[in-house]
Amino acid sequence: MTMKTKAAIYIGALFCIAAADALRSQVELPQYKVTIRTIDESQQPVSGVNVSLAFAKPVSGITDGNGLFTAEGACGIAGFGGSITKDGFYRGGGEIPHPDGNNIDKVLNHWLPWNPTVVVVMRPILHPIAMYARKIAVKVPGDLNQPCGFDLEKADWVAPYGKGEATDFIVTFTKAEVRSDMDYEASATISFPNQGDGIQEIKLPKEFAGSAFKWPRIAPETSYKPTLEAHRRLKNTIVSAGSLNINTAGEEQAHFLRTIENGGYVRSALYGKMKGGFYISPDKTGHGFIEFTYYLNPTQLDRNMEFNPQQNLFKGLTSVEAPRDP
């Protein structure tokens, strides 16, 4: 089963801030020029890509045989965004240099840098599959130092706390202290119960940072660790010598998961991925909260991580619960 192959590639909004004196005198908006270069994962040019950039007046066209498209237009305080479209590819984007009010050729009325080249990697849609994909934000039911098992396929705690049947990993809060709204601390251990189970942190490839599909296509076979430590510490949000803001989770975090049954034989493993890590926090009763987003491939030994958002195996999810990225 394949997903819809028409994909829009969104370049992040670029806000061109005109100089204050130019705005007051209502002069013509400065011009900005940029070249989009579209390439595939092997660095080869991708031609025939539809490009549309929303300057003050939209400019559209397609990339040529070298994967290039150059656009020019007026750009003021409204800024501009854009999209790139090609059948069979994931949406993606690139970082456009951000000029400011002091970065302008006042003689030519041009923003600088003039005509930077923005490289956009177009990742083909190859084999998107159905997965268990879910955003979780729940209170951990056990007290401090009390292990609580979680079932990924049921998206619930195992007995006696929920309807889960198989323990894929265990959450144990070791600290949950709230001294005030601006002074609290939490620590938890995420552990995997079976030999060969585990988690490993990775760095998402930088070249795919602008793509909707940022992951390696295949989960690794080795180097899974049986435990992960999560921490959250906040002390005073006012910047001072005593301020602390520590969080082991973050948008840049990425992990692969492996869960094994039948006595640790890898031939029964399920593979998954997790974006953002485990966000934890305490409450005033001494309990902990945990948030995480995961994708689990339901097929034994299949390490494919290309998710089809139209084929989520969890049904009836709200927009908050359902991940939309592949």
**pLDDT number for residue 77:** 56
Q: Is residue 322 part of a domain?
A: no
Which of the listed residues 121, 145, 173 is the one where a domain comes to its end?
121
Q: Confidence class of residue 84 from pLDDT cuts 50, 70 and 90?
A: confident
CATH number at residue 17: 2.60.40
What average pLDDT does range 31-46 have in this prediction? 94
- Structural domain harbouring 260: 129-312
Torsion angle of the four alpha carbons 232, 236, 240, 243, in this order, in degrees rounded to the nearest 10: -20
Residue 81 to residues 54, 154, 264, 308, Cα–Cα distance (Å): 5, 40, 50, 26
* C-alpha distances out from residue 306 to 25, 209, 296, 301, 309, Å: 53, 16, 11, 15, 10
**Distance separating alpha carbons of residues 211 and 311, to the nearest angstrom:** 20
* pLDDT-above-70 percentage for the chain: 85
Torsion angle, CA of 135/140/146/151, rounded to 10 degrees?
Answer: -30
Residue 58 and residue 76 share a domain: yes
Does residue 101 surpass a pLDDT of 70? no
pLDDT value of residue 10 = 40
User: Does residue 172 lie in a domain region?
Assistant: yes
- Count of structural domains, the chain: 2
Tens of pLDDT, residues 3-36: 444 333 344 434 343 333 334 334 588 999 999 9
Claim to verify: residue 198 and residue 254 sit in the same structural domain: yes
The DSSP 8-state label assigned to residue 267 in this structure reads: G
DSSP assignments along 192-254, one per residue: --STT-EEEE-PPPGGGTTSS--S-SB--SS--BSEEEEEEEEE-SS-STT-EEEES--TT-E
- Dihedral sign for Cα 305, 10, 252, 157, please: negative
Average pLDDT over residues 72-91: 81
Type and span of the H or E element at 20: helix 20-25
- Whether 160 and 295 share a structural domain: yes
52 shares its domain with 84: yes
Going by pLDDT thresholds of 50, 70 and 90, the confidence category of residue 262 is low
Average pLDDT, the chain: 86
Residue 304 DSSP class: B
Instruction: Record the tokens describing residue 216, joined without a space.
Output: 């390696």
Residues 72-100 have a mean pLDDT of 78
By mean pLDDT, which of 14-23, 191-200, 215-224 is the weakest?
14-23
Q: What average pLDDT does the segment 104-130 reach?
A: 92
Across 59-68, 109-118, 193-202, 254-263, the highest mean pLDDT is recorded for: 59-68
* pTM, rounded to two decimals: 0.84
Residue at a domain's end among 121, 148, 177: 121
- Could you tell me if residue 320 is inside a domain? no
Domain match, 108 and 149 both: no
165 and 201 co-located in one domain: yes
Note whether 202 and 232 are same-domain residues.
yes
Residues 115 and 143 in one domain: no
Residue 37 confidence class, pLDDT cut points 50, 70, 90: very high
Same domain, 12 and 45: yes
For residue 267, the model assigns a pLDDT of: 62
Say if 326 falls within a structural domain.
Answer: no
Residues 96, 161, single domain; the answer is no
Same domain, residue pair 154 and 58 = no
Whether 151 and 60 map to the same domain: the answer is no
